[in-house]
Structure 1
Amino acid sequence: MVLSVWPMAWRWQKLLAARGIHDRLAWLVRAYFVAYTAGQVLPTAVGGDAVRIFETAKRHPGQGGPVAGSVLLERALGGAATLALAGLGFALAVGRYNVGAYLWIELGFVVATVLLAIGLFSRRVRPLLAKTVPLLRKIRLERPIRAVYEGIHSYRGHPKLLAGVFALTLAVQSVRVLAIWSAGKAVGVELSPRPYYVMGPLLFLVLLMPFTVNGIAVRESFFVSFLGGLGVDADKAFATGFLFFAVTICLSIPGALLLGWQSVRGLTRPSPPQLRDG
């Protein structure tokens, strides 16, 4: 899973470049690892995204809107690709595993994703969105929300880029699902990868919701509910979820080391008066 950070950073680099923002892949990889670390103490993936936006906007003054737009669009495309992967998982699992109860959950996510795409990219709904401006202005949110909206809407003219990012995300998420399957095998869950291609994408979508810190309790409950429906013992299902949690914690270690090194460098760096005295 650690290796999946590089293709994800590369897709972000391409989205930024489409808006005239150019940055090194190495720095974007670093930003991803730091975001993973932040996601351990902030609300799910949204907290990590906020850190990426903040750090990158500081590197590119005056580009806060496009930077935020690239990160949020990347997240939205990731959600759409995850839904497509879940659909493939349903097709593979139908008739072999009892996963029909989760079909309605995916359908709800599909409807929400379609509505979001229409709201972000359709020119016809802009007059409707304009009606929210007085309220947003009153609560002083018009400028940041407008900047983010314009940053995302501008990608309407880059359909090939969006399709490429979608395809890459689909491939990366496929590998991440196999990591869940491997965790299950490690604790003795004897299931093929097929049902995991239903469970994994739904789990990724649930963990995007900003109402938990690092998905604690939600993730394990989801594993017990889903795998329990397939006849897996509750203890093994919980152990699978916990082991996958441990894997995600390992992903945050490089970011923690980077932040620690950055703090040490900041403490040892001479202050401006010292530099002048030298």
Structure 2
Amino acid sequence: MHARFKQAALFSVKLLLSIAVLVYIARGLDLQQLRTHLVSINPLLFILALALIFVQTFALNGRWELIMRALGVSLDWLAGWRILMISLWFNQVLPSSVGGDAVRMWLLRQRGVQWPEAVKGVAADRFTALIGLIVLMVAGLPVLMSRVSNQAAILAIGGLTLAGVAGTVVLLTLDRLPKRLIALPAIASFVRFGTLVRFLLLRSEHRGLLFGSALFIHLVTAAACYALARGVGAQLSVVDAAILIPPVVLLTAVPISISGWGVREGAMVACLGLAGVPSEEALSVSLLLGAVSVIVGLAGGVIWLASPERGSYSADKAAQAAEEPPGYGLAKAREVSSHP
């Protein structure tokens, strides 16, 4: 009962935050103009954006399959894609994307994959995506500085980028700490995880393809946003989309709202505003991107309805997995050295 109350309270807080941010953004906008942008979207460009995000799921699954293979797990491509699509559905209906990841782990266990490999595979997939995002932000920062005169915005995005770089470096080098520190249970799990990611990106057989896919996937998101922006008549260049969408994606990934709603809209309005895109157009791009994500998620919902695992699914178990502290599952993982 306590766990369900905690889950309901968390969901309520995130829902209120999403609504509050959306209301705050809408207060200063011309809502009639916003409605006009949404209903007058070029249908062909909307379909293009939808196709890009759908095709992106194939690349996402390919990256995940490479990671699982490096862990010694043979994951059938079609089975992996089905699991990924189902997780995207749960991303829409659970309080955060962490819930979708918990479902991914649960479905892997149903296929006989051991818990340590399931946890490491999903967590490494997430962190590899984060590294790709940070690399794009680092690469785009000089371009951003040459195209944007707003110093406060440059400092904010630069600070966000620097924080991402620092966090990544710290995690990947935790095993360099004194042995008495890395032996502590609270740190040891993160040390093993950092060692795993470093192995995947630096020493695994498919490291080039793995890293390249991480960059490609985020560029596809930027391309979808560019298509939506052009579809509502926004004057957004390809270069601006490539350097301004990654910060939006990074902020949206922070699990403080329902599926990123509200946070994504605020970040999109702020970032695209740096390229001269009016707030109404920027907000319409974000809302349309959210609609695209919902449509792709609904496709995953259809797959879930036909899934043989649905009868044994436990929402309580998935919620419990989603609520575990970051190091909990990783603490159950075996040493990375067991998977050279």
Length-normalised TM-score, structure 2: 0.67
Equivalent runs, 1:31-70 vs 2, <5 Å: 31-61=83-113, 63-70=114-121
- CA shift, 1:28, in A, is 0.4
Q: For each residue in 1:82-120, what CA deviation from the matched residue of structure 2 results, as whole angstroms up to 9, or x when unmatched?
A: 11112222233432234524222211222122212223x
**Alignment partner, residue 165 of structure 1:** 210
Q: Distance in 1 between matches of 2:252 and 2:305?
A: 27
- Contact 1:93 / 1:194 at 8 angstroms: preserved in 2? no
- CA shift, 1:58, in A, is 2.5
Equivalent runs, 1:117-132 vs 2, <5 Å: 117-119=172-174, 122-124=175-177, 127-131=180-184
Length-normalised TM-score, structure 1: 0.81
Note if 1:208 corresponds to 2:253.
yes
Distance 1:154 1:172, change over 3 A: closer
Note if 1:81 corresponds to 2:132.
yes
**Alignment partner, residue 4 of structure 1:** 56
Distance 1:125 1:246, change over 3 A: farther
Residues matched between the structures, number: 253
**Alignment partner, residue 114 of structure 1:** 169
1:100 paired residue among 143, 151, 154: 154
Q: Structure 1 stretches of 5 or more lacking a match?
A: 137-141, 268-278
Q: Distance in 2 between matches of 1:127 and 1:222?
A: 41
**Alignment partner, residue 141 of structure 2:** 90
Distance 1:216 1:265, change over 3 A: closer
**Alignment partner, residue 325 of structure 2:** none
Q: What secondary structure does 1:189 align onto?
A: coil
Note if 1:217 corresponds to 2:242.
no
**Alignment partner, residue 30 of structure 1:** 82
Distance 1:211 1:264, change over 3 A: closer
Distance 1:13 1:175, change over 3 A: same
Q: Structure 2 stretches of 5 or more lacking a match?
A: 1-52, 313-340
For the aligned residue pairs, the C-alpha RMSD in angstroms reads 2.6
Q: What secondary structure does 2:239 align onto?
A: helix
Q: For each residue in 1:7-56, what CA deviation from the matched residue of structure 2 results, as whole angstroms up to 9, or x when unmatched?
A: 22122112212222112100100111111111112243322211111111
Q: Distance in 2 between matches of 1:113 and 1:154?
A: 13
Q: For each residue in 1:216-247, what CA deviation from the matched residue of structure 2 results, as whole angstroms up to 9, or x when unmatched?
A: 11111111122223332221111111111111
Taking every aligned residue pair, what percent have the same amino acid on both sides? 23
- Contact 2:64 / 2:121 at 8 angstroms: preserved in 1? yes
